[in-house]
Structure 1
Amino acid sequence: MGFVQKPILPSGYLESLKKSNKIPRRLNVSIHRRETLESSGNTCLTGNPIDDCWRCDPNWANNRQRLADCAIGFGKLAGGGKGGKIYVLGDPENKAVSNASYHLTNLLSEHPNMKVVVINEVDNFLFRPHLVLRAKYHARFPVLSLVRFRSVSKQWKSLIDSPEFINSYHICHTQPQHHLLVRYKLGPDQKYVWIADDDTFPQHKFSLTVPRSVNLLEQAEVLCSSHGLICFFGYRNELGFKKRSRAVIWNPSVRKCVDVIVPKVLYSPYGYTVVGFGVCPNTGDSKLVKVNNFRAQWSEDTDRYYNRWEVEVFTLSSRVWKRRDECLALLEYYKEDEIAVCGIWMMKDGVTRSFAKMFTVKVPGKTDRVSEFRKNGEGIRETEDGTKGSSRLEVYEPCSQHINDIGISGNSSSFAVTSYVETLLLFDRSDSVIRVAR
């Protein structure tokens, strides 16, 4: 990759390259060689797409210098092209190149006015003093960097805003950054805290602002997160309606949300409703599942009471609720040698008979519940802190059985913790309210 800001090319140099067409041909050969290596599993190890191509060339060092003379260089410490101010990735010597996305983020922070465009055909990059990015490498970049890149050119904005790019990023971004969202009450105030789920945990945390539509929900609860989207559920008192239930699907990484009005939600004494949320891993389509349990009724045929269930599924892409004629994880609490413990079970591959116990957590003191799990498997639980009506969050390490305080305290039974990853889903949508006709 090469990055250029207002380059001044040597007089006549670019024209001579265009006429000879020598370097583009040589580059295409290198690209073909590298892709052949990729197909056989023997890839270059530099980590830089264009640098990989040149390092497959026996004469890559000389070609690299010629590129620098053309104001498109490679080395992190390189001086740049003749008369051109450039920022380049990697290093100027025969060493491994550093992580590209890291330097790309630094680039825009140091040069916010840099003109950048995307070029899909790599063999044209010699004749355009702009950013070169092959589509197959876009999943390397974090979401926040991609959001910033939209502002630097129309071509880039059009690419990143496209549904095809968003869905491709959703599928290909196999190592997204992980975060935790903590929701709790401190006195009468509702609090939201973001925590980085990485090696700094739990030091790196700060207050988070949620959408206005979430703050307007009464008795709001965090349903869950799925593929980077977080779903809240509650109700709002609206003119002409006593209660109108809503689900708010929110992407905290790009600050986009969609409100979905949930029809026919049951309240006591008529029964109760359970709502679930998830995202299809293949299509990135959001789904809501609503389960209505109607009040028990007497059956003269069986001479006993029975419960009637009704299941409906809402798909965001179609905006339609469909009735279905049917839980991947199970949490159980019991006593083991008169010590309160919590067993963690998991269902594998959607097979209902595949529930297996993962591990058992011995919980000294009173634990209301295990709220969430970190990406490394550590459990986050809410525990009474000894003050009446007050609890704190702790993290449990199953191997060492150590318990550490996260440093967040609030009202008892008010904590909700959900983990999420960065994603571009919903980025192509404007904030809206979906009023679905059943």
Structure 2
Amino acid sequence: MAAGGAAMTGSGLVADVAVARRGFRLEASVACEPGEVVAIMGPSGAGKSTLLAAIAGLARLSEGRVRIGDRDVASARPRRHLRAAQRGAVLLGQEPRLFPHLTARENVAFGTRARGIGRSVALGEADDWLWRVGLPGAGDKRPAHLSGGQQQRVAIARALATAPQVLLLDEPLTSLDPETAGDIRAMLSEQLTATRATALIVTHDAVDAAGLASRLVLIEEGRVTQSGDVRDVLHAPATRFAASIAGLNRVEGVARGGLWRAPGVSPEVLIESADAASRAAAEEDGGAVAAVFRPGVVRLERAGESSWTGALRLVTDDESTPGTWLARVTRVEQTPVGARVHTADPAVAVDVGADVVADLRLTAGVPVRLTLAPADVRLQSIGAGAGAGAMRSRSAARAALEAGAVTPGASA
């Protein structure tokens, strides 16, 4: 329930911005339909938090505009910069930032009181919000007597109680333990749906994106590299980072006779796919193509030391067979269900059980033989995903701005 007892509905958002900060420049576009939740992911330092700051009014634009609902809240030309409190956007980060001297009820009521709602009404609505986020009966407790997860629930209640036009969430679950994060993720999803909030959520966890958002935008080095439905982005990653968050290998190479070939590797490494669309992507010899496959589908065996002479692989009869090649282990990482073995030339990760690591004595430098079945591989033409997605993102945002509103179907 929003202020005054009305159900909250978010406004549309269009941001086509450039922000320069201490040797770093962000150029990104994102558009949200009213009531839509969009996730933003990227490596550390990619510009995700800078984008939220520009939308919230905490960073000035070097170029571009930000439109929330039917208002331009920021623009570079003409120069316009509404203060954060005037934008109708609420930013919530990793830390709850509750007022330590106020109770949970008073913290939630603070925002609505600041908007002119009477004390008794605001406190009553605060109790309702505490119930909605799973904290009934906690209204009289101060932050010091609440757990980290409970504090974040109070912060979420405070943010939603003000009925923001746009809710900006900057990694709100990062500092929580996995079980608590899962509980709050479920609660947040329920409340975002119930209030029809328009929200942008920055996260490092693909589970957050899949559980909270309908669309996913990837930002790398200050640029949008891919965007689309969450499932589509995770299913067909356009960059190595995108593949990493989806838990996939994405190895770039060149096409040769309908196969993938690792450039600059001798003897050559070839990969084939049984998928017709994949074979079509590799038809043009010399064209850039990426092989995408799960670490769990690669078969790993220990190769004999005689397969190597120093840093050189010795040629054997089956090394040029598509889907089979020699490699060396570069590192081994523990996973919840075993281990992930990283190999080089080409860089491929393989998931194995802990017993395999022990049996094969897998450590850095150990030679291994990898085998990959054609049915487990997709080949993608490089450039068709990342570049096209980024161009569609920017074009959609600019079209919406030029139209003076968020257009139907505008996508980040």
Q: Do they fold alike, i.e. is TM over 0.5?
A: no
Higher RCO structure, 1 or 2 (CA under 8 Å, sep 6+): 2
Return the structure number with greater strand share: 1
Q: Which has the higher helix share?
A: 2
Taking structure 1 as the reference length, the TM-score comes to 0.29
